[in-house]
Amino acid sequence: MKAIQILRGRREGELLAFPSVLRMAEILSERCREPSWIRTSVASLERFRTMTDHADLETFLQQAREETALAEQALMSFAGALAGYTDSQISALAMGPRIWLRLNGVPVSWRPLCGERTIPTLPTLSNERASERFILLALIGSGLQMAELLRLRLGDVGSLDSKGQLIPDVEADPLAVRFVPRRGKPSERITFFTYQARQALLQLLEQRRMEGQRPSPDTPLIVQPYTSSVARARQRTTSLIHAGSEVNVALCRATGDFFREWGLPGSRFTGAEELNIEDFI
């Protein structure tokens, strides 16, 4: 699906008038299976444009190409303007600007803007339980199927170059993922892990290192000794889907029952209307 079609009717679609934004959107539309990444990236770029006073993206991009430090400073200013947000929210909002800069030839760093330690402070779990947690978080938002996730290696996660190709880097933020779809044409595609999934993966790798394991780019993200956690992750995923479905059905039924009993909004109003005299002056 073309980028223009994906953003049709959306306010941020106006940014496609900038050649560099159109280039980013077109590369993502070719490389990503999920069109949501195009919408997310362009929308967060619009937020960056507004909050850093870089209305003319092309002029700023040209300056950033000549001096990468300007782009890094703009990203830090953006994070500063989001000081009241959580680390994961800042990461998500910085995703669009970073992808836009990288795909247009500005080699900005893909590291968390909030300055936290590389290894996250999550509750310590056994390797088996840590693998289970990572599986659950990796499936959320990425659009990956379980079989696609299980085929991934450490060399399949990282950042992007100017052509949208993956540069292996397990500490990248946002954390891009290359994979071959389980079905359809066997062509390489990319997606992204959430900030929470990235944190869980880093902790899992740190625990493996502490046990003496030395992972390489060919090491699977989910190693064989812990595949029993896959079964539990499948069960939990199914339970979460069922729970979400039941909540949705309950809400729909409650809304329908309410309107059946009370009618449309205002249909039972019998009091005198309050008029604002100023509206008639």
**pLDDT for res 209:** 87
**pLDDT for res 272:** 62
**pLDDT for res 271:** 62
CATH number at residue 137: 3.90.15
Helix (H, G, I), strand (E, B), or coil: what is residue 56? Answer: coil
Nearest to 134 by CA among 66, 205, 238: 205
Structural domain of residue 89, as residue ranges?
3-103
The owner of tokens 């599986």 is 135
Threshold 0.75, pTM exceeds: yes
Which amino acid is present at 74?
A
| 64 and 149 assigned to the same domain | no
Taking a C-beta distance cutoff of 8 angstroms, is the pair 195, 173 a contact? yes
In 60-183 the beta strands, taken as DSSP E runs, fall at: 157-160, 166-168, 175-179
Domain limit, last residue, from 233, 255, 275: 233
Which amino acid is present at 89?
Q
8-state DSSP, 48: H
Taking a C-beta distance cutoff of 8 angstroms, is the pair 108, 75 a contact? yes
**% of the chain with per-residue pLDDT over 70:** 81
Q: Which residue has the higher pLDDT, 101 or 248?
A: 101
| Distance of alpha carbon 134 from the chain centroid | 16
Instruction: Taking residues 158-180, report their average pLDDT.
Output: 96
pLDDT at 280 exceeding the cut of 50 = no
Kindly report, residue by residue over 226-238, the tens digit of the pLDDT.
555 566 656 655 6
Report how many domains make up the chain. 2
- CB under 8 Å to 244, separation ≥6 — which residues? none
